[in-house]
């Protein structure tokens, strides 16, 4: 999962800064749609370009003083991977993300759970990675193809499909 989470996170933080104190005890629901591009550099022996579309709902939770405590995102994503003149188009998939904050407003964890990626491969098989990712444990990484815990998917098959 991707640079899109950086974009979503920036939108989340911006929304939190402007949250109304009057609505401090009620969750705020926000619909979103974003697109983005990133480069997958740590999975295959070559770089893979990723174009992503993402839409869904974000719910901001605050305490009675208006401090942001948690953000829940429910999203649908579709990714297109290109490398070496080859393209793989992923199947749209649904997942959830939880942003957790400490008492000072700092992000402590950003957990994604559910499908991480779903891509038909040219040999007729399906690359599917599913599980849980903590983005905080991957600083500076733009795109995560396989979860920290769960099924990493057939990474060798994915890379072979895009190899020169």
Six-digit token string for 143: 């795109």
Please write the tens of the pLDDT for every residue from 28-57. Answer: 999 999 999 999 998 999 999 999 999 999
Please write the tens of the pLDDT for every residue from 88-129. Answer: 999 999 999 999 999 888 999 999 988 999 999 999 999 999
Residue 12 has pLDDT above 90, yes or no: no
Note down the domain range covering 65.
3-162
DSSP strands (E only) in the chain = 28-40, 48-62, 68-83, 86-89, 93-101, 107-120, 126-134, 149-151
Looking at residue 23, its pLDDT comes to 44
Looking at residue 26, its pLDDT comes to 87
b/e per residue 70-91 (b: at least 16 CB within 10 A): ebebebebbbebebeeeebebe
Please write the tens of the pLDDT for every residue from 49-86. Answer: 999 999 999 999 998 888 899 999 999 999 999 999 99
Residue 19 has pLDDT above 70, yes or no: no
Asked if residue 76 lies in contact with residue 55, where contact means CB atoms within 8 angstroms, the answer is: yes
Looking at residue 24, its pLDDT comes to 56
The domain total for the chain is 1
Looking at residue 1, its pLDDT comes to 54
Question: Which run of H or E residues covers position 157?
Answer: helix 155-162
């Amino acid at each position: 999962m991707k640079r899109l989470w950086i974009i979503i996170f920036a939108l989340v933080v911006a929304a939190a800064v402007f949250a109304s104190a009057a609505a401090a005890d009620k969750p705020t629901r926000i619909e979103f749609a974003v697109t983005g591009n990133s480069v997958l550099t740590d999975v295959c022996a070559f770089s893979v370009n990723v174009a992503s579309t993402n839409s869904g709902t974000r719910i901001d939770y605050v305490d009675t003083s208006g401090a942001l405590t948690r953000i829940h995102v429910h999203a649908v994503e579709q990714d297109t991977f290109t490398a070496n003149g080859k393209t793989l188009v992923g199947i749209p998939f649904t997942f959830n993300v939880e942003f957790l904050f400490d008492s000072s407003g700092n992000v402590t964890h950003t957990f994604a759970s559910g499908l991480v990626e779903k891509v038909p491969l040219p040999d007729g098989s399906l690359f599917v990675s599913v599980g849980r990712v903590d983005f905080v444990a991957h600083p500076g990484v733009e795109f995560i193809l396989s979860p920290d815990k769960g099924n990493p998917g057939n990474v060798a098959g994915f890379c072979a499909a895009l190899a020169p």
